[in-house]
Amino acid sequence: SGQVPVEELSKMLSQALEKEDYEKAAKIRDELNKRNG
């Protein structure tokens, strides 16, 4: 499957937070929560 690795999502989350892009950060966090079950 063409899923983004969890490590990559974590990196994207950090970058979104640095840019104060909280909407994107929330989406990434949702995705991480799905992965972590």
**pTM listed for this prediction:** 0.82
Domain encompassing residue 14: 6-36
pLDDT value of residue 1: 62
Does a structural domain hold residue 12?
yes
As a whole number of angstroms, the distance between CA 37 and CA 18 comes to 26
Domain count, the chain: 1
Q: What is the DSSP string of 1-37?
A: --PPPHHHHHHHHHHHHHTT-HHHHHHHHHHHHHHH-
pLDDT value of residue 9: 97
User: With a cut of 50, which residues of the chain have pLDDT below it?
Assistant: none
Does a structural domain hold residue 28?
yes
Does a structural domain hold residue 1?
no
